[in-house]
Every structure is written in C-alpha cells, then in structure tokens.
Structure 1
C-alpha cells in the first residue's frame, strides 16, 4: 500500500481522515500535544513548526502523498495570539508544500470558508477572498504561499464540520448538546449561514481531492443553513424533545474574532468530480448514539 502522511491526526478532521484513509493507504499520522491510539495508524509526535522535524519525518517515512490537516483552528485564539498561530497555520503549511514539491508527491491543504467576508455568498473558487478575522487571513496566506511553493497543491476550503472526533477532539456540537441535555438554554444565531458537512464526509472529499485536484476546490455541503436551524434539525433527529433553543444575532454576542454572516460555499466543482455529501438529516441520523 502507498504511504499517506496525515498531519494533525489527533484533531477532529485528522482523526476522521485516518478512519477513512486506512482502508486504501498505509497511514502515518502526526500529533503535537494529544497522543491518541488509532488502530492500523502509525503515529508520530512532532512539532511541525520546526522545519528540521518536518524534514526528518519526510526523510524517514518517505510518504507518497500528504494531507495537511494540522492547524490552530480556533478563530478567537488566532485573533488573540496571531504570531503563535501564524507559525503553524502559515509557516508550517508553506514548508510542507515545499517538501511535497521536493518529493514530487500530491499535497492537500485544509483551508476554510472563513477566507470570505460573508457578503456575497454562495462563494465559488474563483471569487476574491476577503477575510474578516486573523484566522481567515492566515488561511489566505497559507493558500498563496503553498501554491507559490508547489502549484500542484490541492487547496480544499472546508465548511463548518461536525460529528465524532475520536478520543482527543470534539466538534462544536458536543459541548452544546451537553448543555441541552442538562436542561440549559442555548442561544443560537439566526443570521449566520454555512454549508456544513460531517467529519466523515469532509474526509471523503479530501481523499477525492488528493486523487483529482490541483488548485482550489470547495468541499461544502448541499444545504445552506443557519446555526439555529441546524440545531433545531439536530435535536429533532436525536430525539431531544425538551431541548431549550432560543434565537440570537451575531451582533448580540461579543467575540474576539469577527465572524462573517454567510460564507456558504458553492461546491458544484467538487460535486462534478464525485463528491456527494448526504443531506444533513441523513448525516445526523448516522450520529445517533455517537454524540
């Protein structure tokens, strides 16, 4: 089997990637601070911010392809610690693209729908970027830097993702469901829209991109939905009849990082290549008993 290197394997997306990729690849995964055990996956502790460590990993593993999923993905933290997050989100990403170029192997990067300002959705790959947060800015810098180093890189702009994240990670839904199950009230935006997919669906899209894509591609779901309506559907499918969900607006909540109102993605390019996200209802039904 060919060797696939997945960075950030203990994270939400990386863990989901490992579950899917091990069916067809010999998978090597890196983690930084959260050691995990994943059956059939060869895991390596590494600080990707250190170029010498990165170089050593490539020399020892000799991967046939790389999916770079490691990141500081919390926009509020990036906003308050821009230099620290820049090292992993931008510098390490560009170094990985450079090494993939040296080895002439496929390279996939997980970017974000937050490269857009949310004022002109749905967004296609050719639309101009206009991030409103430092996290979004860092993803733009990484995209540009990686393509400059290695034009064959597949830049995959990911939507909001949800689902099971393994032993060391969670998606945004778990803490919210925990609050609802305790009978607490949950206020959710009616004016923030995304095109979400599960971690499993996202992983399948990234593996498809590894085989078929160079340049930018969007891997969003087929439904544009607000946070409020997303959770209304989720609690209905999970049977949480007593859940207390109320509405609020973005402007009512103070956050360190500004949030765009509607970064829904037009992913028709990916659909034409064979990317087929299920409906949200189908995705939620798959999560019964797991979240």
Structure 2
C-alpha cells in the first residue's frame, strides 16, 4: 500500500484525516505532546522543528506522500509566542516541502483563510495575502516558502472547521454546546464571517488536493455565515435551548490577536475538481448521526 505521512495526527484535522485516509493508505502519523493510539495507524512521536528528527522520519518511513497539518493554530497563542509558533508554522513547513522535493513526492499543506485582512471577501486563490495577525502572517510566509522550495506543493487554505471531538482535540462547537446545555450565556459575533466545513469534509478536500492540485487551492464551504448565525443553526439541528445565545461584535471582546471581519473563501476552483461540501445543516446532521 502507498504510505501517507500525516503530521499533527493528534490534532483535530489530523485525526479526522487519519480516519478517512486509512481506507486507502498505510498511515504514519506524527504527534508531539498528545500521545494517542489510532487503530491501524502507526503513530510516531516527533519534534518537527528538529530537522534531524524530521529527516529521520522521511528516511525511516519512506512516505509516498505527505500531508502537513501540524501547527500552532490558535491566533492568540501565535501572537504571544511568535518565536515558538514560527518554528513549527514556518521553518518546519519549509523543511517538509524541501524533503518532499528531494524525494519527488506529493505534498499538501494546510494554510488558513486568515492570510487575508477581511476587507475584500470572498477571496479567490489569486488575491493578495494581507494578514492582520502573526498566525496569518506565519502561514502566508510558509505558503510562499514551501512553493519556492517545491512548486508542486498543494497549499490548501482551510476555513473555520467544526466536528466531533477527537480523543485529544475539540472543535469550537463542543464548548458552544456545553454552554447552551447549561443555559449559560454564549456571546457570538454577528460581524465575523467565514465559510466553515466539518473536519471530515476538510479531510476529503485535502485528499483531493493531494492528488489533483499544485499551488494554492481554497477548501471553504458553500455558505458564508457569521458565528452567531452558525450558532442558530447549531441550536436547531442539535435541538438545544437558545436561551443563552446572544449576539456581540468583535470590538466587544479583547483578544491578543486582531481578527479580520470577513475571510469567506471562494472555493469554486475546488468545487470544479469534485470537492462538494454539503450544506452546514447537513454536515451538522451527519455529526449527530455518527454519534
């Protein structure tokens, strides 16, 4: 079987990717702190910021393809820990592209919709990046660095993602559901817009991109929606109490990292390749059905 190396397999997206990809690939997943066992997958503890360790993995595993999801992906953490986050988000990413180039194997990288400033949505692949926080900036630098080292890289700009909690990671909906069930107040932005998809849908997009894309691709969903409106759909589908659901604006919440207002993605290029996210209602319904 073909061997797929998935970095960050203990993360939310990495875990969902492992579940889907193991049907067709022999999977090797890396983790740093969150040790876990995933059936039928070889898990490897590795510090990807250590080039020697990274090189050893490539030499030992001899992957036929790589999907690099490992990252510090919390914008507030990146803002307050710029050097630590730069090491994994930029340096390790460029090194992975270099090793994939040396071995002439497909490489997919998970970037973010936060490479944009939120003033000119919806964003196409050809639009100029203009990040407003360190996380977006690091991903933008990594995109350019990886494509320079290895133009065959599939740079996948990911939207906001939701889905079932994994053994070592949650998505943003778990605390939402918990708060609403407790009938506590949940304040959600009415002025921040994204094009969200489920972790499973995102994983489908990544596997498609690995096979069909060189260069940049957007893997957003088909609906542009505010966090507050997403919360309303969540309440309906999961049949939760809406008592605590309240609207607020970005300026009402103090955060370390600035947040762009609208980074909804135009993903028509991916749709034309066969990436077909279901409606948000259907994706949320699938979550209930899979529990």
Give the TM-score taking structure 1 as reference length. 0.99
Write the deviation string for residues 14-64 of structure 1: whole angstroms up to 9, x where unpaired. 000000000000010000000111111110000000000000000000000
8 Å CA contact 1:11–1:165 kept in 2: the answer is: no
Q: Give the Cα separation in 1 of the matches to 2:218 and 2:243.
A: 33
Q: CA 1:253 to 1:242, structure 2 compared with 1: closer, same or farther past 3 Å?
A: closer
SS of the aligned residue for 1:183 comes to coil
8 Å CA contact 1:5–1:27 kept in 2: the answer is: yes
Counterpart residue number, 2:218: 218
Aligned residue pairs total: 291
8 Å CA contact 2:202–2:219 kept in 1: the answer is: yes
**Superposed structure 1 runs of 4+ greater than 4 Å apart:** none
Matched, 1:34 2:34: yes
SS of the aligned residue for 2:210 comes to helix
Give the TM-score taking structure 2 as reference length. 0.99
Counterpart residue number, 2:186: 186
Q: Give the Cα separation in 1 of the matches to 2:13 and 2:105.
A: 21
Counterpart residue number, 1:287: 287
Counterpart residue number, 1:249: 249
Structure 2 gaps of 5+ residues are none
Counterpart residue number, 1:130: 130
SS of the aligned residue for 2:288 comes to coil
Write the deviation string for residues 79-99 of structure 1: whole angstroms up to 9, x where unpaired. 000001000000000000000
Q: Give the Cα separation in 1 of the matches to 2:289 and 2:83.
A: 40
List aligned pairs for 1:100-139, cutoff 5 A. Answer: 100-139=100-139
Write the deviation string for residues 177-232 of structure 1: whole angstroms up to 9, x where unpaired. 11111111101000000000000000000000010000000000000000000010
Counterpart residue number, 2:55: 55
8 Å CA contact 1:13–1:69 kept in 2: the answer is: yes
Counterpart residue number, 1:231: 231
Q: Give the Cα separation in 1 of the matches to 2:102 and 2:165.
A: 32
Counterpart residue number, 2:65: 65
Deviation at 1:260, TM superposition (A): 0.2
Structure 1 gaps of 5+ residues are none
Counterpart residue number, 1:163: 163
Deviation at 1:165, TM superposition (A): 3.7
Q: Give the Cα separation in 2 of the matches to 1:6 and 1:137.
A: 23
Q: CA 1:235 to 1:290, structure 2 compared with 1: closer, same or farther past 3 Å?
A: farther
Matched, 1:264 2:239: no
Q: CA RMSD in A?
A: 0.9
Q: Give the Cα separation in 2 of the matches to 1:280 and 1:7.
A: 27
Q: Give the Cα separation in 2 of the matches to 1:234 and 1:152.
A: 38
